[in-house]
């Protein structure tokens, strides 16, 4: 029997009964799976228990730390290495194998964590090209920390850390990049997608107006984000990046629709910024 991967997986949930089974079924190779659930009103917790996950009930007190940092600070885990997964994400066999190789053969003494790409599943198919999200989700719990930013009065995000990355606690730690992506089932319900991204846009606009963004752990990403946040060309740049530079056109109509959607989100943020500056 193959030994389980010595990594603790944490799945953060709230009312994810329709998606949690698919997520958990892909995590059997890991030594433990914890579902940290925010008082779900559906069957999320019961489904998680049936899949053998450890369910931890979480209630946010409206202050820092937020949910992921609370997990790192509070939970008793079998491993110091943690993989944060959302309920709409699926770890592929290839990604599991890559994580196994890293923890079993690599020298991790100077590593704080690894970025993991999200490969979008759009209109029922996994996009091979186009823009992907990339987040520091596979990490050492003692070597990184999520920054505390001035967003507690910003609408849209609430208990979970926003679209920024945890930072190494010491300058000597390095950050790597995994080759294999997660599958990200972000667009299964159009109404839910639009509502969620409206909240994200509100939060992002608030963060920009308050100049509250923390630095990114990678210098080139920090520079790109600074340039794009308030650029009037942001929507066009995002579209061209996804559809042309990242070869999204090779995904056909789905690639075009996805690039247009991402550009639309960028324009929504800019519109919110303009409206709030004139209020």
CATH number at residue 143: 3.90.550
- Taking residues 7-16, what's their average pLDDT? 98
Nearest to 251 by CA among 125, 84, 63: 125
- pLDDT at res. 186: 83
Q: The domain containing residue 184 runs over which residues?
A: 5-278
Give the integer Cα–Cα distance in Å for 155 and 196.
Answer: 12
Mean pLDDT over the full length of the chain: 94
Q: Which of 78-92, 102-116, 135-149 has the lowest mean pLDDT?
A: 102-116
Q: Are the C-beta atoms of residues 113 and 140 closer than 8 Å to each other?
A: yes
Strand partners, 115: 136, 177
Instruction: Look up tokens 């942001």; give the residue.
Output: 234
Q: Which residues contact 185 (CB under 8 A, 6 or more apart)?
A: 19, 22, 88, 89, 90, 121
| Model confidence at 14: pLDDT above 90 | yes
Confidence of residue 196 (pLDDT cuts 50, 70, 90): confident
CB atoms within 10 A of CB 84: 24
- pLDDT at res. 193: 81
Strand partners, 111: 174
Strand partners, 275: none
Confidence of residue 188 (pLDDT cuts 50, 70, 90): confident
Model pTM score: 0.94
Nearest to 48 by CA among 15, 84, 81: 15
Give the count of domains, the chain.
1
| Model confidence at 1: pLDDT above 70 | no
The 10s digit of each residue's pLDDT in 24-75 is 999 999 999 999 999 999 999 999 999 999 999 999 999 999 999 999 999 9
């Amino acid at each position: 029997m193959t030994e389980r991967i010595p990594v603790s997986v944490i799945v953060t949930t709230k009312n994810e009964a329709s998606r949690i089974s698919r997520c958990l079924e892909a995590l059997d190779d890991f030594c433990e799976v914890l579902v940290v659930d925010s008082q779900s009103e559906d069957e999320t917790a019961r489904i998680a228990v049936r899949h053998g996950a450890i369910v931890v009930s979480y209630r946010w007190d409206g202050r820092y730390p937020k949910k992921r940092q609370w997990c790192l600070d509070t939970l008793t885990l079998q491993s110091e290495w943690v993989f944060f997964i959302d309920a709409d994400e699926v770890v592929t066999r290839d990604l599991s194998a890559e994580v196994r190789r890293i923890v079993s053969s690599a020298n991790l003494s100077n590593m704080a964590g690894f970025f993991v790409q999200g490969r979008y599943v759009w209109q029922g198919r996994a996009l091979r090209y186009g823009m992907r999200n990339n987040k520091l989700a596979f990490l050492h719990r003692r070597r990184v920390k999520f920054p505390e930013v001035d967003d507690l009065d910003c609408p849209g995000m609430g208990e979970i850390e926003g679209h920024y990355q945890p930072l190494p606690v010491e300058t000597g730690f390095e950050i790597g990049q995994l080759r294999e992506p997660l599958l990200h089932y972000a667009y299964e319900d159009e109404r839910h997608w639009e509502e969620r991204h409206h909240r994200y846009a509100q939060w992002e606009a608030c963060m920009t107006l308050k100049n509250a963004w923390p630095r990114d752990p990678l210098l080139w990403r920090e520079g790109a984000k600074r340039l794009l946040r308030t650029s009037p060309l942001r929507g066009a740049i995002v579209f061209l990046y996804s559809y042309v530079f990242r070869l999204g056109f090779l995904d056909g109509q789905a690639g075009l629709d996805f690039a247009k959607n991402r550009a639309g989100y960028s324009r929504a943020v800019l519109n919110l910024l303009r409206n709030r500056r004139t209020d």
